[in-house]
Amino acid sequence: MSGQAEYVIVGAGSAGCALAYRLAEAGRSVIVVEFGGSDAGPFIQMPGALSYPMNMPRYDWGFVSEPEPHLGGRVLAVPRGKVLGGSSSINGMVYVRGHACDYDHWREAGASGWGYADVLPYFKRMEHWHDGGHGGDPGWRGRSGPLHVTRGGRRNPLVRAFVEAGRQAGYPVTGDYNGAQQEGFGAFDMTVWRGRRWSAANAYLRPAQRLGARVLRGLATRVVIEQGRATGVEIATPRGAQLIRATREVILAASSINTPKLLMLSGVGPGAQLAGHGLPVLADRAGVGQNLQDHMEIYLQMAARLPVSLYRHWNPLGKALVGAQWLLTRRGPGASNQFESAGFIRSRAGVAYPDIQFHFLPLAVRYDGRAAAEGHGFQAHVGPMRSPSRGSVTLRSADPATPPRIRFNYMSHAQDWEDFRACIRLTREIFAQEAFAPFAGHEIQPGAGVQSEDEMNAFLRAHVESAYHPCGTCRMGRADDPGAVVDPEARVIGVERLRVADSSVFPRIPNGNLNAPSIMVGEKVADHLLGRRLPPENAVPWMHPDWQSAQR
Annotated binding site for FAD: 83, 91-94
DSSP state of 155: -
What's the sign of the alpha-carbon dihedral 351, 92, 444, 461?
negative
C-alpha count within 13 angstroms, C-beta hemisphere, residue 253: 38
Taking the C-alpha atoms of residue 128 and residue 310, their distance in angstroms, rounded to an integer, is 29
- Residues of each annotated binding site: 83, 91-94
Taking the C-alpha atoms of residue 423 and residue 513, their distance in angstroms, rounded to an integer, is 18
359 is catalytic: no
Whether the upstream peptide bond of residue 446 has omega within 30° of 0, thus cis, is: yes
The residue from 99, 295, 381, 469 that is catalytic is: 469
Strand, coil or helix: what is 345? strand
Q: Apex CA 283: angle with CA 19 and CA 243, to 5°?
A: 55
Taking the C-alpha atoms of residue 293 and residue 329, their distance in angstroms, rounded to an integer, is 40
Q: Apex CA 379: angle with CA 100 and CA 41, to 5°?
A: 80
Asked if 475 contacts 505 with a C-beta cutoff of 8 angstroms, the reply is: yes
**CB neighbourhood size of 414 (10 A):** 9
* Closest listed residue to residue 207, CA positions, set 126, 286, 277: 126
Q: Any idea how long the chain is?
A: 552
Catalytic residues: 469
